[in-house]
């Protein structure tokens, strides 16, 4: 009997701690847990089906990720984000990515990696050229966009910077992909994609040409495109529904 029966494997192959982390983060992002109110460990235990130990692990991690805040008398509560918080988070992400681009330009990036990114950008061009925007093609765009951004960080080659950006991007509405799906239901979606893609090209060109300051400046402006998306999305509940973690954003 070498083949054990593992019907739960696809869900249970990961440790209970990981399971708890993913499940709890899911609950938070979905808005099942109201911001501000205390999270009862036991209620999570019975919802997720693991014991308190991994749940507590997940709580600590999610506090570090920024989704929870510790309550002085013990325990945790879901954090509420103001609109200003979200704009600041985006600006901060832009500044950090800007540093990544500048470092890549100043220090020089390996040729093969640059070619690889160039290929990714060509893919995006082809996608945009097709002129029809479907949910599927948009998801594809989101993926390509996300990989451009992670490639960019990779180019900088700095572990410390990577760590900081990972933290900034942990909040989904601060990530480069946060507002792209929201963009899809907006009237000028195609126009925004064209602008964003041109910025991608400029960023890469600046890095290739070793123009550190230019690379940094364009990346920052690129992040502000996300801020503009947010501003527009805030007036459209259809868009907001496409934003992960929108439930955590408290309206003024």
Partner DNA sequence: TCTGGATCAGTTGTATACAACTGCCGAACT
Partner DNA sequence: AGTTCGGCAGTTGTATACAACTGATCCAGA
Is 73 one of the binding residues for a copy of itself (CB under 8 A)? no
Give CA separation, 4 vs 13, 14, 212, 227, in Å: 13, 16, 56, 51
Q: Out of a copy of itself, DNA, none, which partner does residue 99 contact, by CB within 5 to 8 A per kind?
A: a copy of itself
Q: Out of a copy of itself, DNA, none, which partner does residue 66 contact, by CB within 5 to 8 A per kind?
A: a copy of itself
Q: Are 207 and 110 in contact (CB under 8 A)?
A: no
Give CA separation, 94 vs 104, 165, 185, 195, in Å: 15, 9, 24, 16
Please, is 110 exposed, middle or buried when counting C-beta atoms within 10 Å of its C-beta (0-12, 13-18, 19+)?
exposed
Is 203 one of the binding residues for a copy of itself (CB under 8 A)? no
Round to whole Å and give the CA distance between 77 and 33. 9
Q: Out of a copy of itself, DNA, none, which partner does residue 151 contact, by CB within 5 to 8 A per kind?
A: none
Residues forming a β-bridge with 249: 81
Tell which one of 38, 47, 61, 201 touches a copy of itself (CB under 8 A): 61
Is 159 one of the binding residues for a copy of itself (CB under 8 A)? yes
Sign for the pseudo-dihedral over CA of 117, 118, 121, 122: negative
Q: Which of 34-42, 130-138, 144-152, 161-169 is the region at the interface with a copy of itself (rule: CB under 8 A)?
A: 161-169
Question: DSSP readout, 5-50?
Answer: --TTHHHHSS-HHHHHHHHHHHHHHHT-S-TTSEEPHHHHHHHHTS
Tell which one of 167, 210, 224, 228 touches a copy of itself (CB under 8 A): 167
Count of residues that interact with a copy of itself, criterion CB under 8 A: 26
Tell which one of 14, 115, 143, 163 touches a copy of itself (CB under 8 A): 163
Q: Kindly tell me which of 56 and 120 has the beta carbon lying closer to a copy of itself.
A: 56
Q: Out of a copy of itself, DNA, none, which partner does residue 168 contact, by CB within 5 to 8 A per kind?
A: a copy of itself
CB 165, min distance to a copy of itself, A = 9
Is 16 one of the binding residues for a copy of itself (CB under 8 A)? no
CB 220, min distance to a copy of itself, A = 10
Is 168 one of the binding residues for a copy of itself (CB under 8 A)? yes
Footprint on this chain of DNA (rule: CB under 7 A): 15-17, 38-43, 50-54, 56-57, 73-75
CB 36, min distance to DNA, A = 14
Question: DSSP readout, 91-154?
Answer: HHHHHHHHHHHHHHHHH---HHHHHHHHHHHHHHHHHHHT----HHHHHHHHHHHHHHHHHHHH
For residue 36, how many other CB atoms are within 10 A of its CB? 11
Nearest to 147 by CA among 123, 126, 111, 127: 123
Q: Which residues bind a copy of itself (CB under 8 A)?
A: 56-57, 60-61, 64, 66, 84-85, 88-89, 91-92, 95-96, 98-99, 103, 158-161, 163-164, 167-168, 174
């Amino acid at each position: 009997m070498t083949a054990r029966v593992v019907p739960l494997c696809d869900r249970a192959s990961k440790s209970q701690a990981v399971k708890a982390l993913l499940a709890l983060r899911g609950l938070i992002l979905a808005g099942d847990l109201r911001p501000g109110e205390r999270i009862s460990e036991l209620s999570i235990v019975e919802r997720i089906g693991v014991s308190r130990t991994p749940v507590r692990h997940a709580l600590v991690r999610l506090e570090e990720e920024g989704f929870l805040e510790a309550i002085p008398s013990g325990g945790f509560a879901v954090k509420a984000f103001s609109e200003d918080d979200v704009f600041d988070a985006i600006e901060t992400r832009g500044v950090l990515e800007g540093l990544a681009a500048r470092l890549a330009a100043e220090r020089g990036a390996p040729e093969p990696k640059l070619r690889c990114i160039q290929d990714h950008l060509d893919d995006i061009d082809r996608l945009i050229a097709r002129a029809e925007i479907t949910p599927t093609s948009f998801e594809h765009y989101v993926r390509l966009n996300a990989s451009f951004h992670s490639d960019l960080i990779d180019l900088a080659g700095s572990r410390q910077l990577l760590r900081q950006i990972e933290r900034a991007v942990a909040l989904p509405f601060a990530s480069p992909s946060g507002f792209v799906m929201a963009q899809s239901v907006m009237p000028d979606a195609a126009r925004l994609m064209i602008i964003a893609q041109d910025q991608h090209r400029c960023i890469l060109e600046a890095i290739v040409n070793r123009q550190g300051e230019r690379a940094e400046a364009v990346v920052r402006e690129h992040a502000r495109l996300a801020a503009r998306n947010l501003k527009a999305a805030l007036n459209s509940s259809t868009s907001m529904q496409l934003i992960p973690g929108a439930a955590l954003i408290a309206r003024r």
